[in-house]
Amino acid sequence: MPANPSARLVENVLDLKALEQKPTREGFGAGLVKAADDSPEIVGLCADLTESTRMEPFARKYPDRFVEMGVAEQNLAAVASGMAAMGKIPFITSYAMFSPGRNWEQIRTTICYNEQNVKVIGSHAGVSVGPDGATHQAIEDIAIMRPIPNMFVFAPCDMGEGEKVTIAVANAKNPCYVRFAREKTPVFTTAGTPFAIGKAQVFWVEPPNTKPDVAIVACGPLVHNAVLAAAELEHAGIKVRVLNAVSIKPMDEQAVVAAARDAGAIVTVEEHQITGGMGSAVAELLAQRHPVPMEFIGVQNRFGESGSPSELIEHFGMGVNHIRQAAERAIKRK
């Protein structure tokens, strides 16, 4: 069983039929209520998507701390900046396509440059939004949030980690962006799975006293696909390390460089354009610190389209087989 024991994943991590399936946004909903219970300064603002972004449990429990903004994402960001200026800790929610998609400049100037402690929550990120189609599938959000100074960026891999990230960003003192997904995906971490800002966890580890042949750095619900690919590769005699890069910024530079050094080949996996996303962050780091052959799993300069989430993940080349083949290509390029 080469799932890393210290990651304390669920026991049946490879059994898709047995795993509980819940969307990561559920983790946001649960985490926000818990964080708000502890911190009276937390307020919630939503642009007419309270239920589907899962801000509703908070809004119901704390109606005096909730502001319904209507369909006005620029106002959503800048009003939050004003509330943060008065000492509040605003969480703002919409679909990632609209926030941070539509209000980028307000986030950059009034939140990040202005050093206001606002948490931007982008739900429905990735093509797995499904039937709604490309207009609602945010696959550029990491790329637009990552370069802004003061901003942290996270992509939790399942509902449990979504809750942990939500509580952690509530306690952070700077602007944070967290991307969540609409679709139900496997819940494979446990309460004991470690999470810390700036840390990547090894979810799958090479056998003791060996070096991995390849390392897969993944974020978001596709981390589970990376784990499944790792199991298949291992079955074929290839040693694999899988890193969960939930903390895209700040990135766990030490863990990523160590993976490149130990494996000599890297595959990045994200439900995002390969331009500017988590894979690009890894490439920027490794180009400077330890260049190795890299393969990028993600959307390749295309818009999404309608379909079921699983159809779209396959269509855009982010399935388990695609990850396995990318690993084999990366190893060959060593």
Residues within the interface to other proteins (CB under 8 A): 43, 64-65, 67, 69-70, 72, 74-75, 77-88, 90, 105-106, 109-110, 113-115
Distance CA 90, CA 75 (A): 13
Q: Which is nearer to other proteins, 83 or 266 (CB)?
A: 83
Q: How many Cα atoms within 13 Å fall on the side-chain side of residue 216?
A: 37
CB of 44 to other proteins, least distance (A): 12
CB distance 306 to 131 below 8 Å: yes
Residue (71 or 196) nearer to other proteins, CB: 71
Which of 105, 107, 100, 104 lies closest to 123, judged by CA?
A: 100
**In the complex, minimum distance from the CB of residue 80 to other proteins, in angstroms, rounded to a whole number:** 6
Q: Quick one: 80 or 129, whose CB is closer to other proteins?
A: 80
Tell the smallest beta-carbon distance from residue 213 to other proteins (Å): 48
Instruction: For residue 22, report the phi and psi dihedrals to the nearest 5 degrees.
Output: -145, 150
* Residue 207 DSSP symbol: P
Give the whole-angstrom CA distance, residue 314 versus residue 328: 18
**58 in Cβ contact with 33 (< 8 Å):** yes
The two structure tokens encoding residue 279: 């894979």
CA distance 245 to 198: 9
| Annotation marks residue 68 as catalytic | no
How many whole angstroms separate alpha carbon 219 and alpha carbon 281? Answer: 12
Which position among 20, 41, 56, 73 bears the catalytic label? 73
Tell me whether residue 5 or residue 87 sits nearer to other proteins (CB atom). Answer: 87
Query: Taking the complex as a whole, how short is the minimal distance between the CB of residue 13 and other proteins, in angstroms?
Result: 43
Which residues are marked as active site?
Answer: 73
